[in-house]
Amino acid sequence: MHEIFYTNRLFIRFLLFYFAIQSTFKMEQKEQYVNEIKAIRQMMEQSSRFLSLSGLSGILIGVYAIIGAYIAHVIIKGKELINNSASLNSELVSQLIVLAIFVLLVSIVTIIILTYRKTLRDGYKIWNKGTRLLILNLAVPLLSGGILTSIFVVQGFYGTVAPALLVFYGLALVNAAKFTRQEIYYMGLCQIVTGIIAALLPGYALILWAFGFGVIHIFYGTIMHFRYDHHSKTKKS
């Protein structure tokens, strides 16, 4: 009787040990499956989304925009002192357009250089499906807004330039956000709201233009820099 009881105890211990081993193995197997799913998801995101936008480039673009807005303010005030008039003439408009194009070109060059460096540092491909989709979804609203704004300038509707640029730029960011970081979506919404306010307050159009292209860029660029750029550098080191 004692031997039977002892044998049953050994058998129960064996069963408990067996089930413990099986549960541990299943948990490890489950964790392995979860890690594999995460890796597959990351690979899909890298192929369909462009994740190497540089937050530092956003900060610098904002700084360029504020400097450009200040120079535009100085030019406008200088013309007012000379002509004793706040009206925009063709010469003043031409100077402002040249200034805007210069700021745009410097911004584009900054984006390309810093984003290219970040892409190489993160080990991603600079040109993939995500890049093509991002550029395509940015280009349609931007080109439409640029053409429409040019028509407004030619027809003399100068007060619509700042609101139109802000709104169409915001639409481009919202449209392209699904192919890059989610912060771009919220930045686009802020640009749209700023453009609408600029349309309601045309006397503050230049200030709101500086706020939209300057302050908002710096704000979201700083968030993205410390959330992604700084994090990737820490991870590499």
For 95-136, give the secondary structure using H, E and C. HHHHHHHHHHHHHHHHHHHHHHHHHHHHCCCCCCHHHHHHHH
| 220 SS3 class | helix
- Are 163 and 117 in contact by the 8 Å Cβ rule? The answer is no
**Which of 12-21, 70-79, 126-135 bottoms out in mean pLDDT, i.e. has the lowest?**
12-21
If you search the block for the tokens 């449209």, which residue do you land on? 175
**Which of 50-59, 73-82, 133-142, 178-187 bottoms out in mean pLDDT, i.e. has the lowest?**
73-82
Same domain as 135, residue 19: no
In a domain, 121, yes or no: yes
How far is 95 from 75, CA to CA, in rounded Å? 8
In a domain, 112, yes or no: yes
Same domain as 27, residue 63: no
Looking at the structure of the chain, the number of domains it has is 2
In a domain, 191, yes or no: yes
Same domain as 110, residue 18: no
In a domain, 50, yes or no: no
Same domain as 174, residue 84: yes
Same domain as 15, residue 117: no
In a domain, 51, yes or no: no
Same domain as 91, residue 23: no
Q: Considering only CA atoms, which of 217, 185, 169 is closest in space to residue 64?
A: 217
Residue-level pLDDT at 233: 54
- Are 206 and 72 in contact by the 8 Å Cβ rule? The answer is yes
Residue 223 has pLDDT above 50, yes or no: yes
Residue-level pLDDT at 5: 46
Residue-level pLDDT at 201: 93
Residue 8 has pLDDT above 90, yes or no: no
CA end-to-end distance (rounded Å), the chain: 67
Same domain as 75, residue 3: no
In a domain, 47, yes or no: no
Same domain as 185, residue 82: yes
Q: Over the chain, what is the mean pLDDT?
A: 79
Same domain as 114, residue 16: no
Same domain as 118, residue 24: no
Which residues are within 8 A (CB) of 225 and not within 5 positions of it... i.e. 6 or more apart?
Answer: 54, 55, 56, 58, 59
Same domain as 30, residue 89: no
104: containing domain: 59-236
Per-residue pLDDT tens digits for 140-185: 999 999 999 999 888 888 888 899 999 999 999 999 888 888 889 9
Per-residue pLDDT tens digits for 86-144: 456 677 778 888 898 999 899 989 988 888 888 888 777 777 777 888 888 889 999 99
In a domain, 14, yes or no: yes
In a domain, 140, yes or no: yes
pTM: 0.74
